[in-house]
Structures are given as C-alpha cells and as structure tokens.
Amino acid sequence: MAGLRGKALIAYLVVCVFWGSTYLAIRVGVGVLPPFLFAGLRFLIAGLLLLTVVLALGDTLPKRLVDWRTQAIVGILLLAGGNAFVVWAEQYTASGVASIFVVTVALWMAFFDAIIPGGSGDLNWRVVTGLLLGFLGTALLVGASPAEILRADLRGPIALTCASASWSLGSVYSKRHRTETSPYVGAAIQMIAGGTAIALVGTLLGEWSRWHLTARGAGAIAYLVVFGSILGYSAYTYALRHASPTIVGTYAYVNPVIAVLLGWLILQEPVTARTFLAMALILGAVVWIQFSHKLAVGRTGGQGDGSPAEPSNPQPGRPPVRQTAS
C-alpha cells in the first residue's frame, strides 16, 4: 500500500515523536564526545541489543547471502552516509540551519522514488507542491533566513546535503530490494553494519584519544540507543516497508514541529503566531502529499509504490514477506 494506515501509521507517528526529540540528545553528545565514535557506538550497541531480543523471541537470522548484503548496504547508506554526517555537521552548523537541510530528506526521497525503476515514478505537481509547502513551512518554523544559510560554515551544509541524499537513497534502495528478513532483524543488522562502519571511521581519525565518557555523554548515548535507535529506527523500518518512501519521508517535516511542541510543553519555550502558521503549513503539506498518493492509487488501481500485491498467505502460519525497509 502507498498510504499510511493501521500499524504503519502508528510506526510513522513513533518516528515523528521520537526522532523529533533526538536533536537535543545529539547536540549534548557531540558536545562531550567525538562525533563518529559517538554515532557509531550508539548504533552498534542498539543493533546488538535489538538482535539479541528478537532472536530470543524466536526470530531468525537471514538464510540468504543476498539478504545480508542488502541489509549491510542499507545500513551503510542510512547510518554511515546519513546519520553520522548529521552528527558531525552539528559541530559547525546552527540547529535551525541544520534542520533546513535535514528536511530536504523529503525532497530527495521523492526524487529517488520517482527516478529509480520499480517505484511509483509519479513526481506529479501535487506531490511537488506538497514538498515545497513543507520545506517553506519548516524554514518559517526555525526562522532561518537565506542569508543565515549562506553564511553558515560550508562544512556543515555540504555534509548535511550529502547525508540527506544518502539517507534517501538508502531508503529507496531498501524498498526496491526484497529480503526474507523480518523488519526487526533487518533493522538490527543495518544498525550493526552502519555502526561498525562509523566507528571504524572514528578509529581511523584517531577519535579514541578524545573519548572520555561523562555522565552527560552516557545519558545521550542511552537515550539515543533506546528511543532514537531501537524504537525509532525499528518503527521507521516498519513504516517504510508498508508505505511509499515519499510519504514516509515527510517525517522530516514533522520532526521540527514535535521539537517545538516539546519545548513549549516541557521547557515553556515561547511560541508565536508565526510558529502556528508554520506548523499548519507543514502538517497541511503532509496531508496533501498523502492525499496526492491516494489519488494516484485510485487512478492506476495499484498500490502506488510499485510493489505487486502480496499473496494473502504464502506460507502457512507465516505472514507475507516484503522487502526490508531502512
């Protein structure tokens, strides 16, 4: 299916809420720990913990070499190419400016979903309009002007642009390559592969000499392992498996909204009329994109994500297997 409903909708909302709350933890972490080791060990720990739990509950490891390869490629594209460089870039880029670049995940996702064979291939005017509205709404929300973006240290914007493109490419790649792996085992393998690659980069850069674990650093890692990785990343995997990458990619628009609301509710941070206007634009864009995909499905009579209809029960006692998401 292309749209979000049922468990896929719940998973999407989990991603929006938990990933909307991780920016603070990342900023705290990079303030006291070297960035690549911080990001790499976070995912490595989370992947090993998740794999241990799901195997103990009766899940199984992939039996095909091609499935291991797919999971490793997705993990490296998403985590080593995507998340790690966001963490690194936060050393040089203001959070407001950084969020503008991270929001481009939704734009990159729609682009790759349209040009890579096997998807909807329908980057129509409705979807483009929704993506642009969401981008403008986020710019209004964080208050970053074009001048601020241009004045930013180029290391940050370049890294963030590459990170957004890599994350989106990995998401669409995983959607196009079917595996016989459960989404939870797949997420665990991806985190282990990506975390190992990131930690290796940190090791080669000599970051261990700057590794001094403090209470703040340990707290940031613990929060990101549980909420950002085990819960958030697993939910992202599930949502992407059951919905179009273009729709799931709109989580990048919702995350800043969640961050602002949490700051207002928990820290009593001020909100203005501009804030509510921006949030209305962002949420309206998400609904608009969802509606656009439903129109496309109605016209074609298909699922809208390029996936063939699943058999109702290909194996007795086993749910239908779809490709692993990122």
CA-to-CA distance for 130 and 120, rounded, in angstroms? 16
If 0-12 CB within 10 Å is exposed, 13-18 middle and 19+ buried, where does residue 2 land? buried
Q: Tens digit of pLDDT for each residue in 172-206? A: 998 888 888 898 999 999 999 999 999 999 999 99
Which of 124-128, 160-164, 167-171 shows the lowest mean pLDDT across its residues? 124-128
**Mean of pLDDT over the chain:** 79
Mean pLDDT computed over 104-121 = 76
% of the chain at pLDDT higher than 90: 33
Structural contact between residues 82 and 249, judged by C-beta atoms closer than 8 angstroms: no
Q: Burial letters for 28-62: b for 16+ Cβ neighbours within 10 Å, e otherwise? A: bbbebbbbbbbbbbbbbbbbebbbeebeeeeeeeb
How many Cβ atoms sit within 10 Å of the Cβ of residue 302? 15
Q: Tens digit of pLDDT for each residue in 92-106? A: 776 656 666 777 787
Q: For 88-125, give the secondary structure using H, E and C.
A: HHCCCCCHHHHHHHHHHHHHHHHHHHHHCCCCCCCCCH
Apex 166 CA angle, 165 and 169, nearest 5 = 85
What's the one-letter identity of residue 71? Q
**pLDDT(265) > 50:** yes
pLDDT, greater one: 53 or 309 = 53
Q: At what angle do helices 125-142 and 273-300 cross, to 10 degrees?
A: 160
Q: How far is CA 96 from CA 93, 139, 288, in A?
A: 8, 8, 25
